[in-house]
Structure 1
Amino acid sequence: MDVSKLPNYHPVPWDTRFEAIALPDMFARTATATPDAPLLHFLGRTYPYSALHEQARRFALGLIARGIAPGDRVGLFLPNVPSYVAAYYGAMLAGAVVVNFSPLYSVDELSTQVADSGTRLLVTVDVPELYGTAEKVLQASQLETLVVSSLSGMLPKLKGLALKLFARSKIAKVAYGDGVVAWDDLLSQGAASKAALPPLDPQGLALLQYTGGTTGTPKGAMLTHANLSINAQQTAGLNPFGDPAGEVFMGALPFFHVFANTALLNHAVVTGASIAMVPRFDTKQVLQTIEKYGATGFPGVPTMFQALLDHPDLAKTDLSTLKVCISGGAPLPGPLREKFEAATGVRLVEGYGLTESSGVVSANPYEGKRKPGTIGQVVMGTEVLLLDKENPEVIAPAGEPGELALHGPQIMQGYWNRPDAAKDVFVEHFGKRWLRTGDVATVDEEGFLAIVDRIKDMIAVGGFKVFPSQVEDVLLEHEAVKEALVIGVPDEYLGECPKAYVTLNAGEGATGDALREWLNARIGKHERVCDVVIREDLPKTMIGKLDRKALRAEVLD
């Protein structure tokens, strides 16, 4: 589809061309232009651009002093803390490739990805759970060095002192020595170094971002400096509100996730904005942070916005500075959007992205025309195709849903050490390489995309294809239903039958049988569910989105 000829409701023209720049150079440019401007607000302490840039420079030189060479992999096993920012840009400044690891990983999960990526050095923090896991991986893997940053050292002085004096159990007893280095010692080593920093190629590999593994073993998406810096500029191009340097982003998304990497960190740095950051999502703390720092934008996942709605402090929190909230990572239920906007007066728009696309592909406009139920229009410079659901070598018939395929400057180069997987995910059309997303989509006459479902999630019912998300959307219209997931379960006659799992809103007493009858009267015959199961909770991924894969494994195993 020629997106350039369709109406564009984003503030920047679709054919805008962005600069391919290495991420550390992007960081240096902003730090030089506005050295005293705040980059991070963290639990009462503010870090200006210049301070974090200097930490990144010292970290880079410290890595070089320890033998890290261009192309080596440096892992980050960190929550949202200031050392993440310095280590992220600093590792790239040394020419290394960053590998993001979730702080919720088990020893086995971390070991597997350390081995797959060939990570030589890992950065963590002296929180017992993280340090304990990282130390075990150091002892039992090819990992050579563990760098440990101090949580108390990143806090305001009085908070840091209180943590040391009254909460010793929250600080790990780190066994410094061979292979285990203190963050401050590495920075000191870097400060004393006379080494030269290597030249950086914008087209060079910057980040290995592991997928969530929805199609099997997690794979490392290879993202270049250009992929990431351009996607940050594409995201900044969605902002219609004037001077972007005045924006304050609510930083509740975990930085290790590609959505936060682009929509929060790199987005802020390319524009000179600031991030009011929390170590992890805590509803009360998020509300307090929005009010204290005057957050203007909040990228999050639907479960975060639901949690804000459910919290008793929402009504008494001043949200007047918030201009827009952007939901990604999972489909945004219509009832949630309506309730959130009614309760807060803040516009909540849905966007879309993938690990393989550096994080951001499309969004509904922040102002003006939008289309609820869609993922909006693609960001600048991004092209779309709809492929036949059964054969990606063929374009989908006009007007019919098809597998969404993407071409643009933010699309990954392939999977780390997995050329076989790359062959399955890329397809050639019109002389260009297109990324197959695995999502079934429709596109209207104005270029607004709607995700119908994932190809692998479709349920085969007696020869018909059922899209579970469509059944879930109907379920969510019931006033009692808070969350819903539908999966296919084996059926001797039909092959598979849709089965729904739901949680209820507080105070609701609906039964599974009643919900099944209500639902089946409102959907197609082939879509009718065999059962509705009411649960206290539904499985969620590490960033808080509903996890269909985990539910399917739990139920069918």
Structure 2
Amino acid sequence: MTDFQAAMDRDFGVIAELIHLHAHEASERPALVDGARELNYGALDALMDRIAAGLQRDGLRAGDAIAICAASSVNYAAVFLGALRAGIAVAPLAPGSTPASLARMIEDAEARILFVDAATAEVIGDAAAAGVPRIALDGCEAGQALEAWLAPAGTRPAAVEPQPASPFNIIYSSGTTGEPKGIVQGHGMRWAHVRRGAKYEYGRDTVTLLSTPLYSNTTLVVFFPTIAYGGCVILMPKFDAAGYLKLAEQHRVTHTMLVPVQYQRLMAHSAFDAHDLSSFRFKFSTSAPFNAALKADVLKRWPGGLIEFYGMTEGGGTCILEAHLHPDKLHTVGQPAEGSDIRLIDESGREVAPGEAGEVVGHSAGMMVGYHRQPEKTREAEWFDPAGKRFIRTGDVGRFDDEGFLTLFDRKKDMIISGGFNIYPSDLEAVLREHAAVADVAVIGVPSEQWGETPVAFVVRRAGDDTAADALLQWANAQLGKTQRLARLQLIDELPRSAIGKVLKRELRERDAAR
């Protein structure tokens, strides 16, 4: 048995130490590629040592935090991993946030050092986090150049021994519903993600293409297993369908994580079928609703298995749909993963009867420690069963079928109550997608004097289509039940989305209110 196999057999391990084992066993094997640069495991291990030692030299101790706000790159990944080797938590921040929001996140994380690149430094400005030292990942003038900041070559950091509850990273919620909250994930949570990787054939020959950002948990649930098992990660700083397909074919990619809107754009690309994608073993998706018709198209035209993860960055259990094994369940998000206890509760916090809908709550080994410095928000996110078992509330409404597959209806906050009836926007969106003119759609609830709330649709038409809004509205309402009918339908060029593809319904509500 190799040292790596022995490490993976343990109930808990440290990802940063696995990289040291890979560097010892196969130092020349590629680990990270970003288009401009490639780093093998030997070089990555040595760079991580210099980063960890540099942080310790600057007075950071295990349990402290740094922040990274930059586009995905080899240096970004190396700093993240090097900080973990020193037992330091990483707060990866979204460059698309406002300067004020970034300043609040940096302050909330109590970040001791901020790592940036030229583009994000310009967005942040000089005023935000003015007292926090800045290191420039790309050597720009926004801070001290990374190469100059590093500890000398050959320096080894002082050893640390993280525990399962030790903070691994602080992921800030996307802010789609308001002020971002810092979700503290422990080393034990990430180790649970790594250990389930064996089921999806991660190994030394894995080549993973990632076009979602490294600040997103969506990306990290695939990034860390790839590196932990000794595979190679291809980082794509900005997604475009043509570029993605070219890289996938060139590097003989085996694994990938994509959000549904990226699958949509890839499958619609005119050159999709001309590319050789036969090397793929598994494709993953999470973070946003993935409609059944799109899943079916991916299964038909793209080799390899298709896995949909349903869960929250906060943890608390996962449902997994192995779409290639259950083509009759594409309307669901799958069954609870091994070790996940998923239940449904009503408004009073009581479990619902079998077959009834309720809010999804979950428990697993992979749960957040809590929201950083926000104990009240943490308590709001928790539910305890009568025996005192801790669950995380998702805010999603769903129902289990007789085989234990979970169908989601909507976010609880997005549910529309019109004239006393519950209307799920996802039901209305599914109907509208059946029209040949509709490329994308989102439905929101808006205030109504007569009904309390009433549904309004925002529709993106397919390229070249000129179907009028009134015609689409009449067609949709003819298909919908009396209580579901749309009050208005508005044509829009593009739905507002976060960087990982979530529709920003808050922005649509604001747009409708301004109207």
Aligned partners of 2:37 and 2:74 also within 8 Å? no
Of 61, 69, 87, the residue aligned with 2:79 is 87
In 2: Cα distance, 1:43 partner to 1:535 partner: 35
Aligned partners of 2:202 and 2:225 also within 8 Å? no
1:181-200 maps to which residues of 2 (within 5 A)? 181-187=144-150, 189-191=151-153, 193=155, 196-200=158-162
Question: RMSD in angstroms over aligned alpha carbons?
Answer: 2.2
User: Structure 1 residue 59 and structure 2 residue 15: aligned?
Assistant: no
Letter in 1 for 2:166: G
In 2: Cα distance, 1:530 partner to 1:110 partner: 38
User: Structure 1 residue 534 and structure 2 residue 469: aligned?
Assistant: no
Change (3 A) 1:556 1:544: same
Q: Deviations along 1:166-201, whole A, 9 cap, x unmatched?
A: xxxxxx5x16xxxx32111122x2536565233322
Secondary structure of the equivalent of 1:355? coil
Of 353, 356, 360, the residue aligned with 2:314 is 356
- Alignment correspondent of 2:215: 256
What is the Cα deviation at residue 142 of structure 1? 5.5
User: Structure 1 residue 309 and structure 2 residue 301: aligned?
Assistant: no
- Alignment correspondent of 1:447: 404
Aligned partners of 2:35 and 2:236 also within 8 Å? yes
What is the Cα deviation at residue 424 of structure 1? 0.8
Change (3 A) 1:402 1:24: same
Q: Deviations along 1:428-481, whole A, 9 cap, x unmatched?
A: 113310111000111123221121111100111001111111111111111211
Change (3 A) 1:120 1:523: same
1:159-308 maps to which residues of 2 (within 5 A)? 172=140, 174=141, 180-187=143-150, 189-191=151-153, 193=155, 196-234=158-196, 236-239=197-200, 242=201, 244-263=203-222, 265-308=223-266
Aligned partners of 1:34 and 1:272 also within 8 Å? no
Secondary structure of the equivalent of 2:479? coil
What is the Cα deviation at residue 214 of structure 1? 3.9
In 2: Cα distance, 1:238 partner to 1:362 partner: 15
Of 417, 430, 450, the residue aligned with 1:473 is 430
Letter in 1 for 2:246: Q
Aligned partners of 1:134 and 1:146 also within 8 Å? no
Of 458, 463, 470, the residue aligned with 2:415 is 458
- Alignment correspondent of 2:5: none
Q: Deviations along 1:472-528, whole A, 9 cap, x unmatched?
A: 111111121111100011211111110111101122222222222222222221111
Aligned partners of 1:347 and 1:366 also within 8 Å? yes
In 2: Cα distance, 1:135 partner to 1:435 partner: 36
Letter in 1 for 2:411: R
Letter in 1 for 2:121: Y
Change (3 A) 1:494 1:194: closer
In 1: Cα distance, 2:51 partner to 2:413 partner: 43
In 2: Cα distance, 1:344 partner to 1:361 partner: 25
- Alignment correspondent of 1:130: 120
Q: Which runs of 5+ in 1 are unaligned?
A: 1-15, 152-171
Letter in 2 for 1:497: T
What is the Cα deviation at residue 549 of structure 1? 2.1
In 1: Cα distance, 2:194 partner to 2:459 partner: 36
Aligned partners of 1:62 and 1:193 also within 8 Å? no
In 1: Cα distance, 2:202 partner to 2:440 partner: 38
User: Structure 1 residue 409 and structure 2 residue 339: aligned?
Assistant: no
User: Structure 1 residue 487 and structure 2 residue 444: aligned?
Assistant: yes
- Alignment correspondent of 2:4: none
Change (3 A) 1:552 1:29: farther
Change (3 A) 1:366 1:519: closer
In 2: Cα distance, 1:41 partner to 1:193 partner: 24
In 2: Cα distance, 1:205 partner to 1:110 partner: 20
Aligned partners of 1:18 and 1:233 also within 8 Å? no
In 1: Cα distance, 2:238 partner to 2:74 partner: 13
In 2: Cα distance, 1:96 partner to 1:142 partner: 21
Secondary structure of the equivalent of 1:311? coil
Of 17, 29, 43, the residue aligned with 1:25 is 17
In 1: Cα distance, 2:334 partner to 2:199 partner: 11
User: Structure 1 residue 41 and structure 2 residue 33: aligned?
Assistant: yes
In 2: Cα distance, 1:72 partner to 1:251 partner: 28
What is the Cα deviation at residue 542 of structure 1? 1.7
In 2: Cα distance, 1:534 partner to 1:361 partner: 35
TM-score (norm 2): 0.92
Secondary structure of the equivalent of 2:322? coil
Change (3 A) 1:191 1:134: farther
In 2: Cα distance, 1:320 partner to 1:121 partner: 43
Q: Deviations along 1:335-389, whole A, 9 cap, x unmatched?
A: 323344444455544321211019x82221264234101111222211111111x
Aligned partners of 1:302 and 1:545 also within 8 Å? no
Q: Which runs of 5+ in 2 are unaligned?
A: 1-7
What is the Cα deviation at residue 262 of structure 1? 1.3
- Alignment correspondent of 1:160: none
- Alignment correspondent of 2:277: 319
In 2: Cα distance, 1:367 partner to 1:271 partner: 24
Of 354, 375, 383, the residue aligned with 1:398 is 354
Letter in 2 for 1:259: T
TM-score (norm 1): 0.86
Letter in 2 for 1:84: Y
In 2: Cα distance, 1:313 partner to 1:182 partner: 41
Secondary structure of the equivalent of 2:33? strand
Secondary structure of the equivalent of 2:407? strand
User: More displaced, 215-224 or 27-36?
Assistant: 27-36
Secondary structure of the equivalent of 1:68? coil
